[in-house]
Amino acid sequence: MTRYALVPLEMDWFFEDIDKYLKREEFQEFQEYAGVDYRNILDPKKRDAIADKICNASSIFYEIRRAKGGAFFPEKVYREDVNFYSKAPKWVPEADELILYRPMCYSLNLRFKTISEMIVPYVLERRFKDREGIIIGNLGCGLGRDLHESVRRYSGQISRVISIDSDGEAIQHGLREMPDQLEGKIKFYEGNFLMGNPEGEKYDFCLLVGVICPLANESAVYLLSLVRKQMSDKATIAVSSSSFRMHHHDPLCSFNIQLTSQWALNCRTEDDLYGILSDAGFGRIEIFSEPSGFNYIGIGTKI
Ligand SMILES: C[S@@+](CC[C@H](N)C(=O)[O-])C[C@H]1O[C@@H](n2cnc3c(N)ncnc32)[C@H](O)[C@@H]1O
């Protein structure tokens, strides 16, 4: 959120090697679909026009610009429905089709699968073996789908999931789309999760997916140390972070995001995420990755 420092834009790598990037097939194709010419990018007046054209053509970049990331961008990807929630004014389907199957978007699906099918089960089976009455905070939950599968599967262990997001529309969609059988187990609240659990209890397990990605490392440490205060003794946290591979393996998306929304991801290493969790007061840290390596997921225990 705004009082936390975001990482600065980092686009020099593109400008320094612009000829190399423009020869790449995906850049050429995308330029054609969006009707832009990246060679004009060095002219600041033309740069804004290029960004506008991209957002007019692509519903994905339109949404990223609208919400500076936000919960509805990943939802477009999970659903493979780029016009879910918002639509680019002069939508060019081919432009989004190309972006939807680029590694950046693909990695979001892998992140979702890894968290819901591997990380959360791992935490519940290994770190909370045989424990019941677990209270989970899904902080910055978006539409809250990361925990659906686990709440079904571990309903005996999980007492409640408190899902909080400051985006009221995401909360409304999350509520409407939650499977009936999970009602009563998953509670949604609109608000700032730093204000604590609206139901008052401490969390045994906190999940933050896509929340610290744009934050400078010191801000991420501060945010997680505030979350730590809301957690019970020896509680567990799981946090996702974008990785340094993003720039190298999907330069088109990495550049477009920054150009169109003036918003960047903090492309961290495993050591960065380890250090953030450690500095925020967590031990027994393990760092996982989804299969594409674009996102890390760090687990830690409150010490
Ligand atoms: C990139 S989205 C990820 C949503 C979801 N966790 C997912 O993986 O699809 C990050 C979300 O965190 C929310 N958020 C960030 N900081 C927050 C805070 N302090 N309180 C409540 N929500 C917050 C944003 O509103 C946004 O919906």
| Structure confidence by residue, pLDDT tens digits, 97-107 | 999 999 999 99
* Domain count within the chain: 2
- Whether the per-residue pLDDT at 1 is higher than 70: the answer is no
Of 66, 83, 104, the residue at which a domain comes to its end is 104
Joined together, the tokens standing for residue 301 give 């225990």
Please check whether residues 230 and 255 belong to one and the same domain: yes
Please check whether residues 89 and 174 belong to one and the same domain: no
Dist. CA 86 → ligand 1 center (Å): 18
How far apart, in whole angstroms, are the C-alpha atoms of residue 54 and residue 256? 8
108 lines ligand 1 (CB under 6 A): no
Tell which atom from ligand 1 comes closest to the C-alpha of 75.
9
Task: Give 236-270 pLDDT, tens digit per residue.
Answer: 999 999 999 988 899 999 999 999 999 999 999 99
Average pLDDT for 41-46: 88
Range of the domain at 52: 12-104
Please check whether residues 168 and 232 belong to one and the same domain: yes
204 lines ligand 1 (CB under 6 A): no
Task: Please provide residue 238's backbone torsions phi and psi, each rounded to the nearest 5 degrees.
Answer: -130, 125
Rg of the chain on CA atoms, in Å: 20
Four-point Cα dihedral 242, 145, 193, 83, nearest 10: 70
63 lines ligand 1 (CB under 6 A): no
269 lines ligand 1 (CB under 6 A): no
C-beta of residue 235 within 8 angstroms of C-beta of residue 302: yes
Please check whether residues 120 and 212 belong to one and the same domain: yes
Lowest mean pLDDT among 1-10, 142-151, 271-280: 1-10
Q: What is the CB neighbour count within 10 angstroms for residue 262? A: 12
Q: What is the CB neighbour count within 10 angstroms for residue 89? A: 10
Lowest mean pLDDT among 1-15, 19-33, 193-207: 1-15
Q: Which of 165, 190, 213 to mutate to test ligand 1, by most ligand atoms within 8 A of the CB atom?
A: 165
11 lines ligand 1 (CB under 6 A): no
Q: How many Å separate Cα 109 from the centre of its chain?
A: 11
- Give the 3-state secondary structure percentages of the chain, helix then strand then coil, rounded to 5: 50, 20, 30
Residue-level pLDDT at 3: 66
Q: Judge whether 7 lies within some domain.
A: no
Please check whether residues 145 and 239 belong to one and the same domain: yes
Q: What is the CB neighbour count within 10 angstroms for residue 155? A: 12
Dist. CA 141 → ligand 1 center (Å): 6
Please check whether residues 168 and 52 belong to one and the same domain: no
Joined together, the tokens standing for residue 181 give 């059988």
How far apart, in whole angstroms, are the C-alpha atoms of residue 288 and residue 28? 34
Q: Which helix (H) or strand (E) holds 239?
A: strand 231-242
Q: What is the CB neighbour count within 10 angstroms for residue 248? A: 11
- pLDDT bracket for residue 2 (50, 70, 90): very low
Q: Judge whether 5 lies within some domain.
A: no
